[in-house]
Amino acid sequence: MEYPSFHSVNESIKFTSCGILAAKRRDARIKDLDVLQTMNCSVLFRFFSLTHQGCVPCLFVSRPTYIGIKFFMANTENNKHSEGIIFSNLGSTKLANPAPLGLMGFGMTTILLNLHNIGLFPMDGIILAMGIFYGGIAQILAGLLEYKKGNTFGLTAFTSYGSFWLTLVAILLFPKMGLADATNGHFLGIYLGIWGVFTLFMFFGTLKGARALQFVFLSLTVLFALLAVGHLVDNESIVHVAGWIGLVCGASAIYLAMGEVLNEQFERTVLPIGEKH
């Protein structure tokens, strides 16, 4: 949609902040505002300075890529009045994809923890540090960034699993710090089982997504189920089996993260992730 160039009444308005795309004056029959395509945004602007008195913004219209200001201008020197609508093209800002950050935080920390579960390494500061900073804080940050994109699933998944890692670290550390009694293994099994139920519901939410994402959540559901059963029945062998499932789950999350990064970077499919088109 084309608009005529606008130099204001007697060129008396100097625009200082927003790049002005175009405007329409009353004598040009202001119309078509309702067909503008716009984007939800909050804008703080110092909109114009005046060389004549009496310009009063009286209507703010916001719709997604354009902002409209309806103004009434009174030129006190020649007693002329004019109305118009000024449109500012704010442009479209592409938001980065926070999912690879969350997936990497989840995947790498999951692999480290399950190297312990299969008996290869003891539980030490490496796992705890990753659980706090990458599996925990970084995932929560990714979830908050998904909120900015309007992705409810991503927000729920990343903030929840980030919080899972932080609570798990707290469960392991609080008894050693004298802040809680030693963790009851059966109660830990219930804790893991609840997370398994949550993950199962989240898996159903992936059925419209990429196959790789479905695999991550399906394998994570199995992982939580096995860990829960292993702790509830005090069977270390089940925990070891769960550890192998956890390694596969963590590796699949890393693969999905790198697939999203590389496919976007090269603008073609470098690592197939089974996207639905």
Res. 224 pLDDT band, cuts 50 70 90? very high
Per-residue pLDDT for 4 more than 90? no
Distance in angstroms (rounded) separating the CA atoms of residues 265 and 155 = 23
- Beta-bridge partner residues of 48: 15
- Residue 243, Cβ neighbours under 10 Å: how many? 21
Summarised one tens digit per residue, pLDDT across range 119-170 is 999 999 999 999 999 999 999 999 999 999 999 999 999 999 999 999 999 9
Amino acid letter for position 23:
A
Res. 38 pLDDT band, cuts 50 70 90? very low
Res. 12 pLDDT band, cuts 50 70 90? very low
Per-residue pLDDT for 14 more than 50? no
| Selection from 16, 11, 25 nearest residue 88 by Cα | 16
Q: What is the DSSP letter of 92?
A: -
Per-residue pLDDT for 59 more than 70? no
Summarised one tens digit per residue, pLDDT across range 69-103 is 444 444 444 444 444 544 444 445 788 999 999 99
Q: What is the pLDDT of residue 50?
A: 34
Structure tokens at 11: 């060129």
218-230 core/surface letters (b: 16 or more CB in 10 A; e: else): bbbbbbbbbbbbb
Q: What is the pLDDT of residue 92?
A: 52
212 vs 3, more confident: 212
211 vs 85, more confident: 211
Q: What is the pLDDT of residue 94?
A: 80
Residues in the chain: 277
Distance in angstroms (rounded) separating the CA atoms of residues 249 and 110 = 8
- What is the enclosing helix (H) or strand (E) of 19? none
Q: Extract the runs of DSSP E, i.e. beta strands, from the chain.
A: 13-15, 20-25, 48-50, 55-63, 66-75, 80-89
CA angle 42, 66, 2 (to 5 degrees): 170
Q: Is the dihedral of CA 162, 165, 166, 167 positive or negative?
A: positive
Q: What is the mean pLDDT of the chain?
A: 77
Per-residue pLDDT for 231 more than 90? yes
- Beta-bridge partner residues of 84: 25, 71
Helix extents (H) in 83-181: 99-117, 125-132, 139-149, 152-173
Helix extents (H) in 206-235: 211-232
- Residue 203, Cβ neighbours under 10 Å: how many? 19
Q: What is the pLDDT of residue 270?
A: 95
Per-residue pLDDT for 175 more than 70? yes
Res. 276 pLDDT band, cuts 50 70 90? confident
